[in-house]
Amino acid sequence: MVIIMVIKARSAKAVAETIPAGEFKAKCLALMDRVAHDGASITVTKHGKPVAVLSPVLTTKASAFGFARGQIEISGDIVAPIDVVWDATQ
């Protein structure tokens, strides 16, 4: 079994690396940390054929739109003009 890794460097260059199965077994947790940090996937091959892909979990950031839905209550008319005269020059 051979591991073929494509590591994305911060400069957006891709480097291919081959790791024997015994070495992969010994470094599995470190490789998982590297995949999580760099965002690169690792293709695991057996006898030269790909059998698995180790890739990072893609998470999406929550949108700020609608974060307070159901927590704010509007009382009164929020569109009507108010009785205060504003002076923008002060």
| Contacts (Cβ under 8 Å, ≥6 apart) of 57 | 36
Do residues 65 and 57 lie in contact, with contact meaning Cβ atoms separated by under 8 Å?
no
pLDDT band, very low/low/confident/very high, at 74 (cuts 50, 70, 90): confident
Whether pTM exceeds 0.95: no
Q: pLDDT per residue over 29-73, tens digit each?
A: 998 999 888 888 887 778 877 777 788 888 888 788 888 888 888
